[in-house]
Structure 1
């Protein structure tokens, strides 16, 4: 990431300092300038089902407001889907089914707990760990669904959203990912609203999903 773009991110962070969420770092596939989708599936991974539903509903509403054809995983997956871990074979079958049903992109968001701001900075060094596909990302992180103690010790949350292409005529690849601080995790409504606001802003700035004429 060049110095100019890092400077822009710092300025953005200052602008959003009055909110509970802040874009800390992001990465975009250098081979892609603009990415539009026919239909995108929004997936939130968290053990808190109520929070996941609020997040997906809010994000889908904002995407639709910006002209994006988006659908919540809650509306697409069967109720039993997240009740047990999925194998890699099952994830491959899921991708194929999504493509058959007209999806060509997945926006996957997950929350990773951290203890304090110092730890947050260290945690972001791991943004270089890139999952090449939605299938790999989901498979490696689905354990979050089942760990009831996953967040209890943390005061600041680190969240990450990733946009994947599952286009049938293209390589299934990571398009973009962004790391976002959630500094008021106990105020769910505010945290979700601010997170979605920052995420939608980032996608719009990168000309991903939301492409203005």
Structure 2
């Protein structure tokens, strides 16, 4: 994804108004072929003032039907992740690399990711989160412009436009392999260590071990 160092937004509009304007402007987006197949576009949901922005890969069947990100089984896992980190859904912002469902829930291809990249970049520019959390390889590779594996990218603090950026497995991966929970937990702990050192407005994260 191409980075743009300039954040160009009107000074007379609040972040909330800018996000509402963004949603209105792009609700009928047809930037790529995915728009022809969708039921609803899924631009994102949450707080326009979020400190943390979570990025998945693309909407699934339930998200396509409801027009909201992460409302299926993977969404339930994400909400449990948020709770464990001390957040609730309405105080963060959640979106995807692509805003329309790829047929058959396949991964979005490079052309589709490139077509949607300006939308994701604009969302980040409007919300100006301090932290970004990439959920899965597709999101991490797109945002960080990397072709490394998820194992190589996680357990580190990256940067995007000055926002500290974290990488972990997509919640759907935990539906297939529950053993990944412990790696996701370590990524959540890393995020909280950084967040607590810089902001520190959350209760301590409950420590877990494999006996819990």
TM range (shorter): 0.3 to 0.5
Instruction: Give TM-score scaled by structure 1 length.
Output: 0.38
Greater relative CO, 1 or 2 (CA 8 Å, sep 6+): 1
- Give 1 or 2: higher strand fraction: 1
